[in-house]
Structure formats: structure tokens, C-alpha cells
Structure 1
Amino acid sequence: MKSIYVGNIPFSVTENDIRDLFGAHGRVVSVKLVEDRETGRFRGFGFVEMDDADALAAIEALDGKDMGGRTLKVNEARPREPRPRR
């Protein structure tokens, strides 16, 4: 299972839109669009989980693709780096 980072997503997009877009390249296990903790507004990026081979095909096909006038940034998600507490 691979986690894919998807950035520069138009703010009008829904989880179903992303599921449909990535579903054209294989089975989508999950979609998570990230929201701001304080405002609850979508932050313009998210994560998609897919099987390994499907994920690689989706990354190859969708990185740089135009969606709603914005160029998607699609790559394999990196583990979250620890941040110092405030």
C-alpha cells in the first residue's frame, strides 16, 4: 500500500472528485483532504492510498495535470517529520 501526496488541489474539489480522478488508474483505498484545524477550511492538499503498482501509475499520469486551472503536484508521500512543540 502506498500513500500519495496530492498538492495544489482547487478549493472547490471534493473527496469524490479525487477518488474518481485516481480511480481511473486503479483501486483507491482511501482519500483524505486536509483541513485547517482552526477554521475547518480545506488547505489545498491531501493524501490518497492505493496499491503499490496502481499508485505508481497514478503518480506518473497525474503529476503536472491541470485540474480546475491548477497544476496538480502528485508524488509518493514522505513520512511526517517531527516538529518541535510550541
Structure 2
Amino acid sequence: MRIYVGNLPYSVADDDLRDIFGEYGELAAAEVIKDKFSGQSKGFGFVEMPNNAEAAAAIKALNETDMKGRKLTVNEARPRAERPRGGGGGRY
């Protein structure tokens, strides 16, 4: 299961997510999303857990918990919405 982790403190790194979620089971991946130009955290990330029961337990335990003064939002990740491409502005 892919898990969305939002409202992360900007100082949190991939290893921090691995440490926190690793307490609930096996992880396939853990990534804090960063700005591609500055390298600064965008304040959210994703964790991949192969066992759905462990993932559900992690979501239940960690949602709305405090991390360095910020209340985390933890839930099952939803597929990214399709966004229009281009920007032709209606010109032909």
C-alpha cells in the first residue's frame, strides 16, 4: 500500500520516514518529496508498505500525531489527478 504523509516538518528526511514507519512493518520505499530546483522539502512524502494490514496499522497509529511541532496527515495515497498539459491559451 502506498501511504501519503503530509504536513511534514521541512527538516525531515527519507531516513526519518523509514525509522517511523519501520516500527509498523516492512517498507518497500520511503521518500520525502523535494523541490527539483532548490532541493528543499515540499513538506510531504510517500511510504510504500507491501503488507496492507501493517500499512493500515501505521496509518491509524500515525495520523494526526505530532512530529517536531507539526500534526501529521497520514492516509492511503490516492492516484494523482490528470492535469492539462501545455498552455496554448486557446490559440490556433
Task: Give your verdict on TM over 0.5.
Answer: yes
Which band: TM-score by shorter chain? Answer: over 0.9
- Structure 2 residues not aligned, in runs of 5+: 88-92
Q: Radius of gyration: which is bigger?
A: 2
State whether residues 17 and 31 of structure 2, in contact with CA within 8 Å, keep that contact through their aligned partners in structure 1: no
Whole-angstrom distance in 2 between the partners of 1:13 and 1:78: 22
Query: For structure 1, which segment, 34-43 or 76-85, has the greater mean C-alpha deviation from structure 2 after superposition?
Result: 34-43
Q: Are 1:47 and 2:46 matched, yes or no?
A: yes
TM-score (norm 1): 0.94
Higher strand share: 1
- Structure 1 residues not aligned, in runs of 5+: none
Identity %: 53
Aligned to 1:64: 64
Aligned to 1:4: 3
Q: Give 4+ residue runs of structure 1 displaced > 3 Å after superposition.
A: none
